[in-house]
Amino acid sequence: MKLSVSARAVAAGGMATALLLAGGAVADAASSAPSRAAAAPDIPLAGVKAHLSQLQSIATANGGNRAHGRPGYKASLDYLKAKLDAAGYTTTVQQFTASGRTGYNLIADWPGGDPNQVVMAGSHLDSVSSGPGINDNGSGSAAVLETALAVSRAQYKPAKHLRFAWWGAEEIGLVGSRHYVNRLATGDRSRISAYLNFDMVGSPNPGYFVYDDDPAIEKTFKDYFGGLGVPTEIETEGDGRSDHAPFKSAGVPVGGLFTGASRAKTAAQAAKWGGTAGQAFDRCYHSSCDTTANIDDTALNRNSDAVAHAVWELSE
């Protein structure tokens, strides 16, 4: 039942994206559009899903999870770091201690751009200890990774400096992201012009939620989904419960996307987004069944493209 709905939506979403891209190319060729940087590329769903498969394999080989202080976490970080290093990023592994175990953040800087205007996109990479954490938060981690790799493939030269981050120990209290923000010099905090957070973007019974924080960032995401004809709602379920919170507290403009966790989808939401009313957005939230089977491809595809759209738009 759900599969055929998803398949139709994928086809429709892909067509809309292709039309938008074609329209942009025509406008650029005719020089009739206002002077703007190139539009973000389409982020290949197959690339994002390949990262999720790798994260699943890492969890399976390491006791079924990728949690803070467990070997599956560091193996996840090493997988991402190798991809980013090979793509030309300057990577930094930041260590901290939480609950008596060593934790790690992975930071990847794309060389170039104005160092006084830094656009950051980040996701927590740790799972809970009870499962492999593929929707929470392999999905955000993989979408941000594939966007970073798309920046490299395009050899994108934005006006602003781009920085990507994967946080450790989010699930035990936003520890990694808070550690990072606390160690930034005051001047460096004010140089971050935007922090974009992606925590659960492929929920199997998805909603399309946009953080109601910085208005310009919120508009960027809403415009993207508006262009696809996908209605959005303001994110309320996870408000302040992810890694944007330390940035927001430090005065950094924040935004982000979310497809829902343990809250149930209402009848009105099912009417506009499809899926199952009365069922959780993610029935496997923080459970052992949060595997590669616990992903809605359409939601993952749309949100991955939205990540890239915002990264391109906000850094040009």
Residues that bind Zn ion (CB under 5 A): 136-137, 199
Tokens of 233: 């709602």
Q: 136 or 218, CB closer to Zn ion?
A: 136
What minimum distance in Å lies between the beta carbon of 287 and Zn ion?
13
Chain length of the chain = 316
Angstrom distance (rounded) from CA 61 to CA 132: 10
68 dihedral zone (left: phi>0; alpha: psi -120 to 50; beta): beta
Q: 259 or 315, CB closer to Zn ion?
A: 259
Angstrom distance (rounded) from CA 48 to CA 43: 8
235 given a catalytic annotation: no
Helix (H, G, I), strand (E, B), or coil: what is residue 106? strand
Q: What's at 59, amino acid-wise?
A: A
What minimum distance in Å lies between the beta carbon of 205 and Zn ion?
17
Q: 65 or 137, CB closer to Zn ion?
A: 137
The count of other CB atoms within 10 Å of the CB of residue 5 is 13
Q: Looking at residue 137, what DSSP letter applies?
A: I
What minimum distance in Å lies between the beta carbon of 124 and Zn ion?
5
Angstrom distance (rounded) from CA 47 to CA 236: 30
Q: Distance of CA 2 to CAs 32, 50, 275, 296, Å?
A: 42, 22, 7, 9
What minimum distance in Å lies between the beta carbon of 59 and Zn ion?
15
What minimum distance in Å lies between the beta carbon of 243 and Zn ion?
9
Residue of 103, 94, 121 lying closest to 66 (CA atoms): 103
Tokens of 116: 């006084």
Helix (H, G, I), strand (E, B), or coil: what is residue 43? coil
73 dihedral zone (left: phi>0; alpha: psi -120 to 50; beta): alpha
Active site residues per annotation: 170
